[in-house]
Structure formats: structure tokens, C-alpha cells
Amino acid sequence: MYAPPGVKISKNFPIPDMQKAWVLGDPGQLIYKEKAIPVPGKAEVLVRIDAVAICATDLEVIYHGPPALIEGGLPFNKNWTPGHEYMGTVAALGPGVDEFAIGDRVTVEIHAGCGQCKRCREGMYTSCHNYGMNYGDVNKGHRANGFTTEGGFCEYAINNINTMVKVADDMSDEEATLVVTAGTAMYGLTELGGLLAGESVVVTGPGPIGLLGVGVAKALGANPVILTGTRDNRLEIGKKLGADHVINVRNEEAVAGVKRILGGKGADYVLECSAATNALNEAMLMVNRGGKICLAAFPHEKVPVDVANIVRNNIYVYGIRGEGKSATHRAQAFMEQKRFDAKLIHTHTFELKDLPEAIRYAKDRIDDAIKVVVKMPSAVAAKKMAAE
């Protein structure tokens, strides 16, 4: 059984030597196999993964490669496991770790910065200057689960203690996988203004980040919160998460709709989550003079931008990467307090062995899948035992 020197384990949490894991072969090819259980080092723990959500960026990695960077290059055929939005149970502690205990339920952030570059020292570890610089004889300490290091489509993974957030016992595994998504929305709103009470916020795009962006904005006191999109059923979910107004852009032009709702004025803030090619230019037209725009999604092609409009109207434009500045901790606190119901965006659940089918549901939006969650064998077995 698993018992590496210097690693604290518990007889209450026996760990096998091998685990089931999906590894990436050629583009779009996932292979189910056994891999060794990794060993945590200083400031690291071993997490028994209980559930992992599928993110659109996982699909980008699996089918195209970037933004994953494994051994300095594309992630294909390197015996590497993708997946990054996971939660689980602390199973073993690396040397010197006392911040967590074996048995703690945690959800995890993706990024652990190097801790020594300028951006990390500012708290911007998702913009670490040493991203991916851990290969060969160089180890800068940077980690990004599912991007530069092993991901979560498996049973066990290593996490730096700085990336872990304890979750409440009454929070389901599925809901806990959504904390990182809410954390990304929180990061965007933090950069826009932080305390949004009484400010008007437009969220464009009712995907996972956009929908939870509505919930976070409303929890921060924004008023009104306006959600734009093309699917009525998702806009209805947005209402349940706190949107005061929704605009189906198939029926009404987005800028005109925002101005109508706000009495001819623009919004104070726009959180752009659609990745539409025209999204930034539209956001500039729906934000008020001196307003702020945060880009939380990105189109796949270069986009012409009306820079003169930004300058003339004193508009501030921000881009964010991931869930930086400890936003995940703040998002988890909101979720624990039931300030919004993140479970509304969880639509489908599969077992680990059925990951390719789960990927198909997420990729092709079968049954209008929003967040697809994959459960681990241990979690499925525990649920069955509890039911019996």
C-alpha cells in the first residue's frame, strides 16, 4: 500500500499504489488506464478526487492542446491527465503540512504561482511570470492543475495548500466543483469594482461563468443586474440566480435593451462571458461613460476593436485569467451562506469510466448541458452504501 517516506497518511484513509486515470493521447483521444499515485512534497497534499466538473477549456485542451503546456510543449501523448475543476478529500499530507487534516473536504483552485515573481507577490498568481517553467532541471514552483501539471480526470491528485478551500459538510460534491467557476466570476467583479452595491451590472453570455456571475453580482448588491443571451431556458436560470432583467438578443438588440432598461444610460459595469466576436465592441456601447468592462471569456480569432470609442468615453477594460486573488475563497463563502444557488447550473452527472460520454454531452450541449460533473468510483460507492 501507499506509504511514501515523509508523507503523513492515516489507516482511516487507505491509499492504493495505483489509480484509474484518463490520459490524453492524440487530439481528442482519451485513454483509460492505471497510473501510480503521486507523492506530495513540501506545502502539498494528496487529494482523493470525489468529483470533477468539465469546463469548456478542458475541451480546448483535449481537442487542440493550448493553453495546456506539458514538458514545454503540447500535451498530447505524454501520459498526462487533463481536468481542473475538481473537489475531494485530503488523503495524505506532504512534509510539514499542518494547515489541513486528513479527511478534510476541499475544493481546489487551478493555479499555484511560483510565489517569487512580481505578479505572484501582488497576489496575481494566475498571471505568474513562471507559468509552465517546471521542466528538466528547472522547478520554479508554479503549478496549474490540468494545464501545466497533472489534472483531475483521475482518482488522486497533488495540490499546493494555497490552492485549497475547505467546503461545508452540507455542500454536495457536485456543488463544490462549481466553486472555482463562481470564483472566476468573483475575480472579474472584484477587478471591476469589488463592492457593487447599487451599481448596475450587465452580464453577457449565460454560460457557467456568466450565470454564476449573475449570482455573485447580486450577492454583492448590484442593482439592477441584466443578463443577455440567446437561450430562454438559460435566461430563466439567470432570473433564479438573481437577474433583475434578461434580454434575449434574438428578439432585441442587446445595446438597445440595456439602454431601455437603464433609462437611456449605459451600465456601470459589464462582465463579458460570451466570447462572441462582437462582444467587446457591444460592451463599449452598453457601458456608461467612465464605466468598466471585464473580459472573462475570449474569442478564438482576432477581433477588431474601436479603440477611439474607449478613449473618447474614458472606458476601462480589464482581462482576467482564472480565479485569482483568492476569489475562490470569497465565492465559497457566498455559496456556504446560500447567497445564490450554484446547483442550478449543474445539469448532468457521469461516472469516471464514462468520461468520453460526459465530454460528448459537454461539447455538443446535449440536453442543453451546462455543467457536466464526473463522479469518482469511491464517491459513487459511498453514495450507494449510504442509500442502503
Q: How does the average pLDDT of the chain come out, rounded?
A: 94
- pLDDT tens per residue across span 171-204: 999 999 999 999 999 999 999 887 789 999 999 9
Cell, residue 382: 459511498
Cell, residue 216: 455573485
For 81-142, the DSSP string reads ----EEEEEEEEE-TT--SS-TT-EEEE-SEE--SSSHHHHTT-GGG-TTTT--STT-----
- DSSP H helical ranges for the chain: 56-63, 118-121, 173-176, 179-192, 208-219, 232-240, 254-261, 279-286, 307-312, 327-336, 355-364, 377-387
Closest to 279 (Cα-Cα) out of 339, 319, 241: 319
Whether this prediction's pTM lies above 0.85 is answered by yes
- pLDDT tens per residue across span 280-292: 999 999 999 999 9
In CATH, the number for domain 18-110+145-166+341-387 is 3.90.180.10
What number of other Cβ atoms are within 10 A of residue 56's Cβ?
13
* Cα 264 from chain centroid (whole Å): 35
Q: Where are the domains of the chain?
A: 18-110+145-166+341-387, 185-319
What is the C-alpha separation between 156 and 20, in angstroms, rounded? 9
Residues 261, 226 contacting (CB under 8 angstroms)? yes
Name the amino acid, one letter, at 240.
Answer: K
What is the C-alpha separation between 38 and 17, in angstroms, rounded? 9
Residues 110, 83 contacting (CB under 8 angstroms)? no
Helix (H, G, I), strand (E, B) or coil at 210: helix
CA dihedral 107, 109, 112, 113 (to 10 degrees): -150
Q: Which CATH architecture has domain 185-319?
A: 3-Layer(aba) Sandwich (3.40)
pLDDT tens, residue order, the chain (388 aa): 799 999 999 999 999 999 999 999 999 999 999 999 999 999 999 999 999 999 999 999 999 999 999 988 999 999 999 999 999 999 999 999 999 999 999 999 999 999 999 999 999 999 999 998 888 788 899 999 999 999 999 999 999 999 999 999 999 999 999 999 999 999 999 998 877 899 999 999 999 999 999 999 999 999 999 999 999 999 999 999 999 999 999 999 999 999 999 999 999 999 999 999 999 999 999 999 999 999 999 888 898 999 999 999 999 999 999 999 999 999 999 999 999 999 999 999 999 999 999 999 999 999 999 999 999 987 666 555 555 5
